[in-house]
Amino acid sequence: MAQDNFSRVTEFILLGLSDTRELQLLFFTLFLLAYTMVLLGNLLIIVTVRTDPKLSSPMYFLLCNLSFIDICYTSVTVPRVLVALLSGHKAIAFEGCMAQLFFLHFVGSSEIFLLTVMAFDRYTAICRPLHYTAIMARGACWALVAACWVGGFIHSIVQTVLMLQLPFCGPNTIHSYFCDVPPVIPLACTDTTPTEWLMASNSGLISLGCFLVLVASYALILAKVRARLSQGHWKALSTCASHVMVVTLLFMPCIFTYLRPAGALPTSKYVCVIYTIFSPMMNPLIYTLRSSEVKESMWRLWKRCRA
């Protein structure tokens, strides 16, 4: 394909979830409620952890960072979806589409890495309690969080560069409500098979590899807890159970979406709702409802605000 055809497409059309106006208004209401819950819930967690000295352990430091990532992650896609559902304007500039793709993978992969770090934190606390303070020192926590962001940036740069090298000169209709690799790459005016396999090995293997690490860590924790049935270990196991719920909500749709070439099977845009909206919405609910310390800290914060 000639190079002068590369920039022929200047915008894409996002078809969204439905063409029916009634369903669009329904999705707008549901997405607005979910986005509001994501913002308020995660901001509440951040404020609670930052203002309560009792929540100074590495687990809550990582939870605070997870809440910040969830806010960023949903903000990449949901505000534009809300505007499109309300106004009916479905066009997105080529540059805006690539920017959305970049930040989606940047923040999304950073969250995957952070969830893996959180599993390591729980494994260290339960299986190596005598060394926990030394291993998960404040400096080590900051280094691990920074590594998550750097890893997410490198992953996203690779994805975006591979997309920018493709010529888009024909169809510009995206069968989704946001720009991502699976729905966009089939629109390229060239054979994308090598690029699809590269992207699948990048995003898919990252999702699968981190998921396997998480499963292995939780299996080791379960084996340890079965040998020590004390109250403290059951409390730690309850914390891990909430992590498993988050992991299942996030990783399963990601593995289904990315661990295959884009043209192998059609990607359901409704599956994407799970990891772009539903999973970030559930994080604050899961962590606050299953953590008595966070609920008590929130209650103390509420009483201070009313005083």
Residues 9, 167: Cα–Cα separation, whole Å? 9
CATH superfamily to which 11-300 belongs: Rhodopsin 7-helix transmembrane proteins (1.20.1070.10)
pLDDT tens-digit map of 88-105: 888 999 999 999 999 999
Mean pLDDT of the chain, nearest integer? 83
Residues constituting the chain: 307
Residue 51 confidence (pLDDT) above 50:
yes
Residue 1: the pLDDT is 42
pLDDT tens-digit map of 120-156: 988 888 888 888 888 999 899 999 999 999 999 999 9
Residue 99: the pLDDT is 94
Residues 21, 27: Cα–Cα separation, whole Å? 10
Q: How much helix, strand and coil, in percent to the nearest 5, is found in the chain?
A: 80, 5, 20
Residues 195, 164: Cα–Cα separation, whole Å? 11
Average pLDDT over every residue of 160-173: 87
**Sequence spans of domains, the chain:** 11-300
Burial zone of 219 (CB within 10 Å; 0-12 exposed, 13-18 middle, 19+ buried):
exposed
Residue 122: the pLDDT is 84
CA angle 123, 205, 224 (to 5 degrees): 15
Within 10 Å of residue 71's Cβ, how many Cβ atoms?
18
Residue 231: the pLDDT is 52
Residue 3: the pLDDT is 47
**How confident is residue 183, by pLDDT bands cut at 50, 70 and 90?**
confident
Percent of the chain past pLDDT 70, that is, above it, reads 87
Higher pLDDT, 106 or 297: 106
Residues 94, 227: Cα–Cα separation, whole Å? 56
CA angle 90, 109, 7 (to 5 degrees): 40
Full-model pTM = 0.87
Those residues whose C-beta lies under 8 Å from the C-beta of residue 176, and which sit 6 or more positions away, are 14, 15, 16, 183, 267, 269, 272
**How confident is residue 284, by pLDDT bands cut at 50, 70 and 90?**
confident
Higher pLDDT, 205 or 239: 205
The amino acid at residue 63 is L
